[in-house]
Amino acid sequence: MPTLVELTDQHTSLSSDQVDHLVALVSEWGMLADFSFADLLLYVPVASDGGINWLTASQVRAATGQTLYQSDLVGEYADDTDRPFIAAAAQTGKIQQGEITLPYLADPVNMSAIPVVCDGKVIAVLTREVSKVTGRRLGQLERTYLSIFDDFATMISSGLFPFAGRVADSSVAPRVGDGVIVLDGSARVRYASPNAVSALHRVGIRANAVGQSLAELGFAHDAARASFERREPVVEELDQDHDVTLLVRSIPILKRGARAVNVIGGVVLMRDVSELRRRDRLILTKDATIKEIHHRVKNNLQTISSLLRLQGRRLSSDEAKAAVADSVRRIRTIALVHETLSREPGEDLAFIEIVRPLIQLTQESLQSSDRPMRFEVRGDAGRLPATIATPLSVVILELLQNVVDHAFGDSRRDGVVRVFLQRDSEDDALHIRVIDNGVGVNPEFDIAQATGLGLSIVRTLVTTELGGTIVMRQATAQDLSDAALEDGSHAAGGQPADGTSVNTVVGTVVDLRIPTDAAN
């Protein structure tokens, strides 16, 4: 179904300011429908050969009343019975009332056509349509609400409603059915709906509210005063006693006088959000607890890696020193994931935030006397749950460390290693390619047969923990140019750039494919 903005863009010549005015109106008009116990329709003018056609751009039903229209009317044009009222409202700029008969209803229908005025011009017409027969019996509540609707209708036709720049957050905004207090021009209570009285009881206010000011009642007077002074709605959350939280929205009712705009009254809508807030608080504390745990795990891992490092310094065998250094790096990698999780809400993280520190970790192991090496990251892996991010980080660390340790031998030329990340949403998989322009692995190399600890860890994590696949092979010229590693590849194997045959170009490619739904 087309939206209000799409319909007005396609069919009308309304300016973007005027469309914004209508969007703001529609975001608030659930309240108006509720006060009027009726269906509301918004008609916008569409130029046509025979004059102006009126297109239904939006529709709302009242939560407090019966609807006349089972079907959706958006996108349809006003018919002959509606059109005279709508056209008259647009022409005169005044609210029109009358009786119409609808082809599919036996009983006549009361219709009010309210011109929607923005910056002194009628830009649309809002209609209220309600059956003459099945309407609600008029008790005090009904009479009060209808008179409030009339006040808002007058505001709409004099450009005072909707309020500029004040779009209600409809997800939590209190609605009429939740409880209404009606105020007179001096902010005294004229009427409190039964639900409002109950809400007041829950916060311990048992006095009869009618005739009192909100200050005397000790309820929501700040919100009401602010809304009267600023002439716009004010939302306030009241944390009263008894663990009750009420969300209060005070809306002034304005009237254009001869010289100025006056506040002639107001409505205070309220909603009990205690349960919502209690859950919010619970989620917040749960989230904070999880973050705290990640923080502690990180600290513990850092302690372990420091202890290991101390131990490594006391070793005399180079092999043992290297083995301990490897372990320290692996532990720091896992700590990195927990550190990132301790900063972010939820149990997943943007993996790219891990890749960069991993590279840093590998770079630290490069001796300053080594030739320079360039690390590059391309693409993005999106967000990954900790269950994937942790083993994957260790895998990438091993691969990067191998490039540093083995790819360039003693050659003095510039090494480049590039990490490509690609998230494939179609088959729920993550592709990672680590490619270097070094000496390459032997053509018979098969990772399934590799016995080194590093590659054994990689193989185990990828195939069992992550349920993915891994291919590691010598890079071809194609891989290298795909990867745009041109800046060093021509010198691979110490060959001169010119006359280098494809066969002499080497380097290593590692391709990983990890299913990303594995965690679920």
- Residue ranges that bind ligand ADP, judged by CB under 6 A: 398, 402-403, 405-407, 436, 438-439, 441, 450, 452-455, 508
Binding mask 412-451 for Mg ion (x = CB under 5 A): ----------------------------------------
56 within 8 A of 77, measured Cβ to Cβ: yes
Question: How far apart are the C-alpha atoms of 203 and 189, rounded to whole Å?
Answer: 17
Indicate the residue among 73 and 477 with the shorter CB distance to ligand ADP. Answer: 477
**Residue list 451-470, contact with Mg ion (CB under 5 A):** 454
Question: How far apart, in whole angstroms, are the C-alpha atoms of residue 102 and residue 77?
Answer: 14
Binding site partner of 41, from Mg ion, ligand ADP, none, Cβ cut-off 5-8 A by kind: none
Minimum Å distance from CB 2 to Mg ion?
A: 59
Q: Closest distance between ligand ADP and the C-beta of residue 280, in Å?
A: 48
- 345 cis-preceded (ω within 30 degrees of 0): no
Q: Quote the Cα angle for 109-112-115, to 5°.
A: 150
352 to 411, contacts with Mg ion by CB under 5 A? 402
CB of residue 293 to ligand ADP, shortest distance in Å: 32
What's the half-sphere exposure (Cβ side, CA atoms, 13 Å) at 52? 19
Closer to Mg ion by Cβ: residue 178 or 326: 326
12 binds, among Mg ion, ligand ADP, none (CB under 5 to 8 A by kind): none
- Shortest Å distance, C-beta 319 to ligand ADP: 10
- Toward ligand ADP, which CB reaches closer, 205 or 450? 450
Identity of the residue, 42 or 395, whose beta carbon is nearer to Mg ion in the bound complex: 395
DSSP string of 375-425, one letter each residue: EEEEEE--EEEHHHHHHHHHHHHHHHHHIIIIITTT--SPEEEEEEEEEET
What are the φ/ψ torsions at residue 116 (nearest 5 degrees)?
A: -95, 115
* CB nearer ligand ADP, residue 221 or residue 406: 406
Query: CA angle at residue 152 from 148 to 156, to 5 degrees?
Result: 165
* Cβ neighbours of residue 342 closer than 8 Å, sequence gap 6 or more: 291, 292, 294, 295, 298
- Quick one: 32 or 399, whose CB is closer to ligand ADP? 399
12 vs 402, beta carbon nearer ligand ADP: 402
Under the criterion CB under 5 A, does residue 233 sit at the interface with Mg ion?
A: no
Residue nearer to ligand ADP on the CB measure, 148 or 395: 395
Question: Nearer Cβ to Mg ion, position 96 or 402?
Answer: 402
Contact in structure between 255 and 275 (CB atoms under 8 Å) = no
- Measured from the CB of residue 452, what is the shortest distance to Mg ion in angstroms? 6
> 499 by DSSP, 3-state: which?
coil
- The end-to-end CA distance of the chain, in Å, is 34
Residues 6+ apart with CB under 8 A from 277: 237, 245
328 binds, among ligand ADP, Mg ion, none (CB under 5 to 8 A by kind): none
Q: CB within 8 A of 90, min separation 6: which ones?
A: 45, 52, 115, 122, 125
Shortest spacing between CB 406 and ligand ADP, in angstroms: 4
Choose among ligand ADP, Mg ion, none what residue 453 binds, the Cβ cut-off being 5 to 8 Å by kind. ligand ADP
Q: Which long-range contacts (CB under 8 A, 24 or more apart) does 207-210 make?
A: 209/181
Q: Name the β-bridge partners of 261.
A: 256
- Please report whether residue 333 would count as binding Mg ion according to CB under 5 A: no
CB of 349 to Mg ion, least distance (A): 25
- Nearest residue to Mg ion, scored by beta-carbon proximity: 454
Pairing outcome for strands 180-184 and 261-272: antiparallel
Query: What type of residue sits at position 154?
Result: T
CA–CA dist 447, 456 (Å, integer)? 8
Q: CB of 417: closest distance to ligand ADP in angstroms?
A: 8
Which of ligand ADP, Mg ion, none binds 475 (CB below 5-8 Å, type-dependent)? none
CB of 507 to ligand ADP, least distance (A): 8
Q: What is the binding site for Mg ion (CB under 5 A)?
A: 402, 454
